[in-house]
């Protein structure tokens, strides 16, 4: 709420500022009606269902997740019971059709869930993000009816999923895969290693990309639905990371891992297309993560500057501090609009790949800057684990790296502009 200052002697500049404030808060263009029925709603204007959903996730994040954030970050381990609660709350099947046990929601609702969770803990958001935007998304678009009927009832109630594309030798060149898939009497035999696999320590289903014919290059890549229980599959090293520490990131080892024909996802040789199209939606999820992390950091900083006193007054009264907060809030709102726009476009069935790349690029850069500035506003306390600023700062950094570095997003955007 806007507070005007106490009455009394004020300078001309302050009186003019107050008058301008009164004008801005009361002004409405007389030539425009209050409501224009034909105009599309503002991107941040939520439907009643969306508002209720966001409020539910926010309350869950603040009451169920927040008390464990520091403990999980320090231990580098996410509490299994929280993943169970994700399923119970319906957060692991938001876009899945009702006939398979899902909520038949939208990517926009997925975006809201990820943002609200990341506002409290980025690691919590990542479990929901990867499961929805990568695993459920790929299964929903590319699996057969038999696969949907077999997998979705488990993916929406108990079985966590992971997306296994990256390898030791393939970073930004994601299709330089060395994992091979050979024909076997009972289906396929997969051999290779996968790195940087998010959700890997807890997941029961992995979408694994392997090359069935190296002579065809990336057109030999095929996607396989690999369950943890399959012979020849094992979990390797778990990474000890800078940020998002409670989110598991592991190595997968496939040694003559047997996969039945019924677990090939999409046509043989179309894995590259599945990966590209799935990651397009995944970038919206990363964008949601980053605006959530940035918002959490900004809120923490705003609370702190209203409490911290220097030179006889709280530092929120210093114009230099106010301007920094205003700049951060403005950049975050711009990033939020880009993320929401990409989600709305996807839900409307419109092309969204360029907008998703832009949203991921900008939101990750904004989160990086915002969390850094917020840490500085905490001063020396910002460097201490007793305060939340340093964790937001560490969690934000991954946004410019995974699911396509910032340079790769720039390349994608440029190609689409010049096509």
Q: Which runs of consecutive H residues, i.e. helices, occur in 183-268?
A: none
The 3 state secondary structure assigned to 385-401 is: CCCCHHHHHHHHHHHHC
Closest CA to 134 of 201, 189, 208: 208
Check if the beta carbon of residue 416 is closer than 8 Å to that of residue 398. no
Torsion (CA) 211, 215, 218, 223 in degrees, nearest 10: -20
CA 108 – CA 346 distance, rounded (Å) = 9
Both structure tokens of 347: 């839900």
CB contact set of 194 (below 8 Å; sequence gap of 6+): 164, 165, 166, 167, 179, 208, 251, 252, 254
Marked catalytic residue, from 95, 116, 281, 403? 403
Active site annotation includes 403? yes
Ramachandran region of residue 255, left (φ > 0), alpha (ψ -120 to 50) or beta? beta
Phi/psi for 188 (5° steps) reads -135, 150
The strand pair at 180-184 and 309-310 is best described as unpaired
CA 412 – CA 416 distance, rounded (Å) = 6
What residues are labeled active site? 403
């Amino acid at each position: 709420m806007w507070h005007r200052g106490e009455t009394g002697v004020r300078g001309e500049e302050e009186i003019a500022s107050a008058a301008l404030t009164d004008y801005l808060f009361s002004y409405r263009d007389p030539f425009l009606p209050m409501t224009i029925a034909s105009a599309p709603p503002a991107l941040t204007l939520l439907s009643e269902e969306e508002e209720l959903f966001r409020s539910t996730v926010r309350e869950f994040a603040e009451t169920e997740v927040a008390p464990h954030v520091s403990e999980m970050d320090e231990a580098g381990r996410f509490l299994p019971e929280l993943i169970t609660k994700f399923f119970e709350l319906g957060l692991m099947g938001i876009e899945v059709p009702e006939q398979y046990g899902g909520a038949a929601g939208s990517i926009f609702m997925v975006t809201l869930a990820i943002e609200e969770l990341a506002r409290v803990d980025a690691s919590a958001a990542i479990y929901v993000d990867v499961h929805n935007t990568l695993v459920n998304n790929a299964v929903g678009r590319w699996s057969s009816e038999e696969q949907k009927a077999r997998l979705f009832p488990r993916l929406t109630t108990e079985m966590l999923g992971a997306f296994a594309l990256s390898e030791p030798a393939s970073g930004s060149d994601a299709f330089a895969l060395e994992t091979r898939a050979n024909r076997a009497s009972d289906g396929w035999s997969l051999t290779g290693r996968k790195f940087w696999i998010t959700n890997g320590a807890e997941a029961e289903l992995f979408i694994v990309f392997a090359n069935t014919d190296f002579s065809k290059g990336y057109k030999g890549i095929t996607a396989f639905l690999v369950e943890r229980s399959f012979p020849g599959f094992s979990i390797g090293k778990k990474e000890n990371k800078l940020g998002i520490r409670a989110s598991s990131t592991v190595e997968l080892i496939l040694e003559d891992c047997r996969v039945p024909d019924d677990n090939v996802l999409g046509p043989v040789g179309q894995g590259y297309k599945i990966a590209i199209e799935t990651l397009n939606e995944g970038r919206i999820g990363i964008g949601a993560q980053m605006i959530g992390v940035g918002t959490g950091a900004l809120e923490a900083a705003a609370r702190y500057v209203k409490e911290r006193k220097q030179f006889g007054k709280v530092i929120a009264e210093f114009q230099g501090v106010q301007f920094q907060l205003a700049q951060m809030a403005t950049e975050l709102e711009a990033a939020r609009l880009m993320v929401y726009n990409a989600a709305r476009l996807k839900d409307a069935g419109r092309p969204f790949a360029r907008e998703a790349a832009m949203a991921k690029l900008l939101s990750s850069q904004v989160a990086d800057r915002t969390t850094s500035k917020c840490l500085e506003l905490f001063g020396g306390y910002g460097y201490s684990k007793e305060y939340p600023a340093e964790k937001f700062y560490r969690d934000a950094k991954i946004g410019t790296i995974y699911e396509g570095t910032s340079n790769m997003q720039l390349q994608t955007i440029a190609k689409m502009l010049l096509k």
